[in-house]
Chain A
Amino acid sequence: MSLNFSSPLFLYGLLGIAVPVLIHLLTRRQQKHIRFSAVYLLIQSQKRSTRKSRPNRLLLLLARCLAITLFSLALADPFFSFRQSEAFLRPASIVFALDDSYSMGVQAGKRTLFDHALEFVFEGTKQAPEKSEYSLVLASSPARIEKDWTSDKTIFEKTLKAQSVSFRTTRIGDAMDQAINLLDSAKQKKKQIFLLTDLDKNGWKEEAFSKITAPYPVKVVNFSSLQSGDNKGMVKSIQISQEFLTRSRLLRVKAEVRNFSNTLSRKPLSLFLEGKIVKEELLDIPPGQTLAHEFSYPLRRNQPLNGKVQISDDALTTDNSRYFSFHPSQNIEVMVVDGDPETISHQSESFYLERALNPFSVSLSHIDPTISTLAELPLRNLSDFSVVILANVRELSPGYELELEKFVLNGGALLFGMGDQVNPKYFNEHLGNLLPIKLDSQYHVKEGALHLLLKNNTHPVMKVFSPKELAEMREINFYSMYTIQAREDRIFKVGTWFSNQNPAVIESNVGKGIIVLFLSSLDRDWNDFPIQPTFLPWIQRWTQYSARGLDSVFWQSLLVGEPFRKSTSGSDSNWIVHAPDGTLHILENEVFSNTFQPGIYHLFFLPSSETSSKTLEKIPDGAEPAGTFTVNIDVQESEPGKISQKKIESFLAGMKIEIQEPHSQTTAPQTSDGIPLATPFLLMVAGMFLLEGWMVRKE
């Protein structure tokens, strides 16, 4: 049995007692000393007199103090609890499921909801009885156990202090699942889950609750009532495109901005490039609507650009900006060696390749092809080119294969196209260091018998093709191809298969470079591919890919928590990720999972021999910028809807649910648990005032 308060903050009102005390002290009359003759008569009179004003003044002070005390106590909503003491004495196993999603970053006064939630957990652990054990589950995606059971309050508080609001979305269901698993292994008989959240609707997915069946009591503490302002809007999405004009290029940034408020909102939308604001627009967005706005920015130099689009601040700042990264395609210097130049231009490979790689007079594909004959080849400086395409080449001038080997080992790309001129004997004997396979023989088929087998488009080159385009590509007729044999101890991948289960494209990493072999011709001799519309992007993408075309990296835009996968197949070289918070990470298994912070991540390429340690403090010397990717928040979390109590109860059916406001402390019982005393206290206040009035009147 104990006295408890629903709103203990009002107990600060007890300081008001100082007021009547001060009044009493200030108005106290100065005591005088008088030497008098008939003191014994005074004493006799005093004994006989019924009137005593001094005790009255003390009583008055007492009455006033009591009135203020009772009033403060009444405001603090006191109640007698019989359950409380029992609950307080018994140690408990408590799981704090803390929603650390970014919606908890909404401002609540000078702090955020998350700060209030953390404070709540602090208070909860302080108030919990001795021998209680605590654990902490973070309820953002993916839900995870941050701290397993501990009875040591200091350790637990240390864990709490290390927490901060994340940029992730909410996953209440998984968090509850984790909490139940923890409670299953808890030591204490009394078990309790505290779910501290803003009740954001997004975090409550019905399917996540399907397997939750445990009779543990759950107190859902709703912090959303504390928020001091509304999330008025967000940048919903951002799209980057590049537009070509005759002389210059334009960067177009299209941003969608959502207005969450019920009124027409005038929001300044700003475009930041490289940290500087470059454009700003005022948008009048109707209530509840999304408005798209497109910024145009002239690209003056052919350099990568990183930036963000931002709207004015509101209670939740996290969703007010969205990052993008733009990398203008760099020209890839390609040398096309035509091994079978014809007098009729459209019969030679170079004709198709030149047009496919650079279809317009102005270099818009960022591939700059140079046509060369075999005879000219020794005169060319290979280091001027990123990619060398050997189309239908019979054999190279003596010793030139060594040049090519050197070129590839240093990072060059070598593309082979087959044809009638190709001498498999020469290829197998002289290019053994380069080619991972041996050319076997020409394979001729009837028209319509051989096609490309494009089952899945997981290859980085192929993934841009739409299903319709892939279907078109499958229709292309092939008449001839080379069959191959694998060389021992050589590793290669098959990029595309023919319908007769023979490889169509194989690729292999050699040194820093790459070898790509197309086992049919690059002109119309063996197939109809060069005159198909898909040939152009296909050959361009293979060229970009083999030249370590970085577009696949630049255009990767991820959501918080989505792993970054390096699409270009790399050798055993190292890749370093420079996160927006300044930390450096080494890319392991070509996947980077630590994308929990929105912003622009920079990728660096480092030759394998130059790093050994897993942790990095600064970007090592010799590391070359290899692109960027952006991580943005999942805007679903920003949607302002809240889950209803009814829904919560239905999701957590079978569990004893209690939804409470954060003001009532963790383990403190609710008013419903005891006898409310506010009214009697208020009546007593009235009584005290009556008594005070009567005494003042009497005096």
Chain B
Amino acid sequence: MADGLTIAVLSGKGGTGKTLVSVNLAAVAGDATYLDCDVEEPNGHLFLKPTPISEETITIGKPVVDQSLCDGCKICSDACAFKALAVIKGSLLIFSEICHSCGLCYHLCPQGALTEVQQSIGVLKTGERGALAVHSAVMNIGEPSGVPLIKELGKRRGGAITIIDSPPGSGCLVHETIAHADFCLLVAEPTRFGEQNLALVHELVTLMGKPAALVLNKTIGGLNPSEAYARANNLPIIASIPWDEKLGRLTSDGELAVEKDEHYRFLFTTLLERIKEEVRHA
């Protein structure tokens, strides 16, 4: 477990630059860890190109019923908060995809008819890039929730700084990601859609009591709804990344901007220092 600083990079909307900011911050952070929590489509490894070290299958427990022991009492199905169990004509039906693996049903069953079996939900890949540890999780296709993978990734925090590349949105996956963070770095583009999603994720971060700041990405001058939102809602703006075709080309080539361009190395090094400053004053 980490004694260092954990920074979650979030955006609400997809495609605003979470991965761009995450991988470049990680690359200038020295003794650090990068966690790709975007388990539905992890892509940070495309930029960091870690040397693979290990792979681990991640499993979660799901209930299985022994119908010969089940007497259809409905204690489990009435108690299930996710409605993953139903008792029809005295037989228990289990809806595994809806089950959140809380384990309550095994504990409550008076007949001992329910047992837990482990099911694979994805693979956690570990690699390294110099002093940077890189962990990515890949969820199995069709798996309904990546939350257990993010819980596992959270355990891999380490070094002086951990950078978490969050999933987009403000749902369960993002909630789980923020739970591991000391500081939330929001990234927003200058669009109305970007602003709306920034507001949603900012509300979530505030609700969870995490200090936060904003990076404006793809700025083009003129009206920026995301900037206006930040100013109206006391969200500090700690960096602005102007729209730049060169940066776009580097990114689409899978390059790290901080390694190809001195200007971007300075920008992300400064950003990391600003984050540390924000954390000290939080």
The answer to whether A and B assemble together is no
